[in-house]
Structure 1
């Protein structure tokens, strides 16, 4: 058009030089629409693209309206015809749904690169002007006017920018329960299309241009969420909040998990999208789970922890009272979950009911998935980052491997990490149903022997069945660690307290509360009152579980039990027990100086020890000679010649 030639000549020369040909007559060879698409691509990618030219191009696309009839764009139809025939065979020429069908299949393996490029050039403008999207405005205009304050006198001739389009679509989505079936269906379809590429979401792309240039991998949502500029962060928050409430809007997740959804979650009914992600989380560690889908689920979970706004609808609905009363001001979902976990812990220990049963059930799901990976608890991951590199670099993340590794090395980790771990361990032993490691590694035993037990009694049930042949070694190892924590403080053993309450009140009240558990201790610092031989405990843990499970911890009773088993215990345990016996024997046989001399003589370092003792004795002797008491002798006063004082 003449307007295009006059307003976009500079852009044609700058961005489309190979297509720009100026002859004697000054005409421009558009070469079958390639010049238009070249300008569309430049307007999409180049920041310096002229505003006047962009306005002309936008007006041209609006006038041609390829969204209603793809034949209006000959180049697009030509390059996409094979794709249309393969993926949209039922679409008749001129059908307004052809463009939407192509966008629905944007990442299909049959989509050609040329068709995708040309399609995105047009879709970029479609996403920024809903007048180019067929059916949406006619079916939803009354709701836009009633719920989203679209002026009733608004007409197709009035301008509307991409940010406003995103705002109105977001408003419609928030009111989706109030929409009729036709409008809701069309809205959801458009929203699904927009989530396939950031270029189709102007409310994000236009607000995040600066952040996108510095983002190492724009496809990984949430990589630098906390460092985003405020406008960009708000746009990303709104989009992520939408994907959390309906994971089907997460295009990459759905694409990676489509076969897994059919395999594991085929019974999830349409409209129950919130249960879809739960189903995927539940099965993500199955052997048949595709690694790409698992990575997408992990990313979804990690992202959900970054902001309080990302709480799922059902979680917020069921725990709204507790959140408003006890967790106001928590900025992240992880903070809200920890706040409610502390509240539930206090309820159990003090037998209170500050948290409702429906919220408790919802929280259990969150705590169980949190205990599966340290990445889902940013504060714990931050406190233990160096310890993970030092002790757990060989472990594979997931399946609670890193957490179990840190717990195995808890006496070696840093103070900050230890404090966080102790707080987590308290929750594990008091509410064992939220312990992913225990519940997964002991699933067979729990299902076989503890299915009728109350959830809080799982540890007691597992302990009773610890000698079962079906008990896996991994389960024994985890169980042994939990029992050590359980026996470290009487307040953790709810069964003991319940059954011995009268005797505790009568004889041990001061002991319980003087050394009680301070559940409000933010740092999780506890003073263990019993000294533990960690080398012996580690070497003989399997034997303790096998032979001395019923022997109470303390006063050396379990050690005596191990000694009584003789060679029945493992060689590793035998060796450490022998060393301890030699040590104890050497200590008990020293009754006088003669015994001490004999022990030194038998020592491998006897010469060195005798020399050290001799040096010490010589040093003491010399010090006595040099620094002994000095006697000061005072002269005797002569009283025969007293001194007289003249007072004159």
Structure 2
């Protein structure tokens, strides 16, 4: 057959002029003169890797091919006669689906108008197709690619549309280019994208031949010429069903090495001609790889629609990515072009996107659209809604793979190799670049920063994150997710619901990672940036990190509040968003980099088994505060001071007591939340877990007056007046272990405090009398005694004052002087007010009501009333009250002996609280009167002195 072909080629060359005349005249050559074997011979060198000049020669000679109204009868050719009878038999069509497809359901349909060609083209790569027939079909396809008129059906179906849209009247182009199939397809596709009407028959023919171009790379001479090296090096053996083209696409995106620019341009030209993005059926490799996904996830999409979401299997998701990457000039995206052509003309001054794109830099139009996509109404000149949706779609695809973003890939290639060489899975490379933002070169850092800033406004760009968070979005964030324009609300909702039961690990990790990235630059938090941009420029210039900006603004707000400034320097909208940011940061210690860095060693030592979420690590550090390193201890103390001033920032407290806050403190101010919870701590309706958390915070407050804002304000004047010696040795970032509060307690017993301070100390005394852990000095000095003498009471933790009562009862057994002194101080404090002695108060509650109801509480008045009742023989107290009261008197007597009065005030208190105070007072008055009478009766003791001696 080959030898015959060569002979016939020689004959053809000798009789070319004669054949041309025959063709023009429309004559039928004899069947024995086969014109096609020479064309087959032209194709064989291409298969061997020879230069494609022969293909071009064959294309040139295609003009001499016969065309008849009935179509070329391929059945008459020996090479394909057997394959034709196998795949498209004329008489067995009822039992052959291929015949039904090719011959259009009628037995009477005869071969003609290219129907047999189409049938064989569709089965070209089937295993049953012989190589000879496949070569003949390939040659025929090459002729069509060089001159569309070789295809009778295409030329006939599109004749009117070609004339209508002047697709063959371009005087600026060579005549040969007008005949190219690619030029025809580009011209008609441009008309379709502009919304012009192209006949259904013509579009059907275009679809067939676009599929043909995508299926066999050898039909494109430019691909064969310029991509020969890439094909031999990376894509050998992949010659069927478009696999070679997809292999070249993967080479083009950098997966298998560099690609020549000429090859890249040829590849993009082919994709532009075939336009596979407009209809997934054009790309057989895509169609086969994604068939299962098309039937399930994309079943709502009509045939002919583009597939823009590859939420599918790995093999399927790789294939659309190949197309997306190689469609860098986004005019190749038909949906984007159709929806955005008016916007591109209006905003980017591109009149006829396709026509002008060659005069513009690659990606310039899309960059322009991107800049206008996220403009606010105030900025004006915004994209239409449909165009913005398509721009967002492209951005969503880019976020899946850095190779989908040419600018990012170009500027960050070095950093990707340096920092992210091991990050190969989808989406990991961009996350890696964000993690190393400070280490990137400036050009790459700018691109990554801009993309991250964009993600903060539209988190749906993070397609993998959105996919992982779908259950949470559907349950808690569907309202904001349904909005076409996202302004950071969706991410804010995900953060707020990060610990819901619908939240899975992947979503939680993704949300936390994005929060950590936001800490690197306040611009990465869209809502915060928009709300506080002017405030940052005015109050915190030259500060970039978000955590530093938050600290700067919150410090300004706090100072203005403490100084009662009439007009806050931070705007109202910024203060509101600042509160949101502060609450988010309190949830994870990693969101406060300074604290996290200072406590890394302590976290590894004490909290290695604790997860970061829900502020658990922060709580762990608080519980181990006494054992922390000095630097970490200081930071934790500062954090606690801030949380006590603003309990809403105490994440654990707000989380554990969420329902109790709604029940008891719904109308309370946020800054008074802890105070409200403490007031309702002993309510029967109080949740035990919340009560335990309140007790923890009370223990913390008892360690230092600075951690109790209410006490600090009430005793502002009393603390420096009575406890200055303690303040002198205090440091700013370390606890005073309750020394100032103990000092104030003693002054309360002496009744020397101001009214407001006295009220606060009374509350503290009442609370510490019920729970010894709220008295750090007692706990510090009596640790061993509590362990040995009161272990059972301490283990019960009933918060009924049993440990204190145990220590009082064992006063004589106490060996350490420091502990004995603390117990004596407790006794002294209880003499000042019965309310600070819960055991005695409970025992004598009925007697107080009967005998001392008219006595105003405070300053020891009710205690004196009970003691007078005890002395009065006519009054009968309750047995328990009488016993407890007598025990207290004995303890006070012992305390007076062991700890004598240190000053006149202590002496006065002892006299006034003594059971024999009337006798003592009588004796004091009698002594004064006696002294007066002696002086009156006995005269002067000293000698009189004259006036002159006094005056000199």
TM-score of the superposed pair, with normalisation by structure 1: 0.74
CA distance in 2, matches of 1:285, 1:185: 31
Alignment correspondent of 1:262: 474
CA distance in 1, matches of 2:723, 2:582: 28
Q: Does the 8 Å CA contact 1:388/1:406 hold for their aligned counterparts?
A: yes
Unaligned runs of 5+ in 2: 1-219, 742-764, 798-802, 822-952
* Compared CA separation, residues 458 and 116, structure 1 to 2 (3 A): closer
Q: Does the 8 Å CA contact 1:247/1:277 hold for their aligned counterparts?
A: yes
Cα shift at 1:346 = 2.0
Unaligned runs of 5+ in 1: 20-29, 518-522, 534-542, 589-648
Cα shift at 1:331 = 1.6
Q: Does the 8 Å CA contact 1:374/1:403 hold for their aligned counterparts?
A: yes
CA distance in 2, matches of 1:267, 1:185: 18
Alignment correspondent of 1:430: 645
Aligned pair partner of 1:211 in 370, 390, 415: 415
CA distance in 2, matches of 1:469, 1:361: 35
Aligned pair partner of 1:320 in 510, 529, 533: 533
Q: Please report the RMSD computed on the Cα atoms of aligned residues, expressed in angstroms.
A: 3.9
Alignment correspondent of 1:306: 520
Cα shift at 1:491 = 5.8
1:279-328 deviations in Å (ceiling 9; x for gaps): 22222212342222222221221121121221223x23332343222222
* Compared CA separation, residues 586 and 303, structure 1 to 2 (3 A): closer
CA distance in 2, matches of 1:145, 1:524: 64
Q: Which has the larger share of helix?
A: 2
CA distance in 2, matches of 1:77, 1:433: 55
User: Could you say which structure has the greater relative contact order, defined with CA pairs below 8 angstroms and 6 or more residues apart?
Assistant: 1
Q: Does the 8 Å CA contact 1:480/1:545 hold for their aligned counterparts?
A: no
Alignment correspondent of 1:333: 546
Alignment correspondent of 2:321: 120
Alignment correspondent of 2:371: 171
Alignment correspondent of 1:191: 395
Aligned pair partner of 1:225 in 434, 437, 443: 437
CA distance in 1, matches of 2:597, 2:276: 51
Equivalent residue runs for 1:504-543 within 5 Å: 504=717, 525-526=733-734, 528=736, 530-531=738-739
Alignment correspondent of 1:140: 340
CA distance in 2, matches of 1:555, 1:74: 81
Q: Does the 8 Å CA contact 2:335/2:390 hold for their aligned counterparts?
A: yes
Q: Does the 8 Å CA contact 1:16/1:35 hold for their aligned counterparts?
A: yes
Alignment correspondent of 1:419: 634
Alignment correspondent of 2:510: 296
Q: Does the 8 Å CA contact 1:129/1:161 hold for their aligned counterparts?
A: no
Q: Does the 8 Å CA contact 2:345/2:353 hold for their aligned counterparts?
A: no
Aligned pair partner of 1:86 in 293, 296, 314: 296
* Compared CA separation, residues 124 and 414, structure 1 to 2 (3 A): same
1:282 correspondence with 2:490: no
Aligned pair partner of 1:372 in 584, 587, 597: 587
Aligned pair partner of 1:548 in 750, 770, 793: 770
Equivalent residue runs for 1:401-480 within 5 Å: 401-472=616-687, 474-480=689-695
CA distance in 1, matches of 2:819, 2:708: 38
Equivalent residue runs for 1:100-119 within 5 Å: 100=308, 104=309, 106-107=310-311, 111-119=312-320
* Compared CA separation, residues 98 and 557, structure 1 to 2 (3 A): closer
* Compared CA separation, residues 144 and 404, structure 1 to 2 (3 A): same
Q: Does the 8 Å CA contact 1:429/1:485 hold for their aligned counterparts?
A: no
Q: Does the 8 Å CA contact 2:772/2:778 hold for their aligned counterparts?
A: no
* Compared CA separation, residues 356 and 485, structure 1 to 2 (3 A): farther
1:242 correspondence with 2:454: yes
Paired residue secondary structure (1:281): helix
Cα shift at 1:496 = 4.4
Alignment correspondent of 1:520: none
CA distance in 1, matches of 2:540, 2:767: 41
CA distance in 2, matches of 1:547, 1:281: 42
Cα shift at 1:436 = 0.7
CA distance in 2, matches of 1:325, 1:524: 30
* Compared CA separation, residues 64 and 441, structure 1 to 2 (3 A): same
Cα shift at 1:46 = 3.4
Which 10-residue stretch deviates more, 270-279 or 488-497?
A: 488-497
Aligned pair partner of 2:615 in 400, 420, 424: 400
Aligned length: 547
* Compared CA separation, residues 157 and 436, structure 1 to 2 (3 A): closer
Cα shift at 1:387 = 0.8
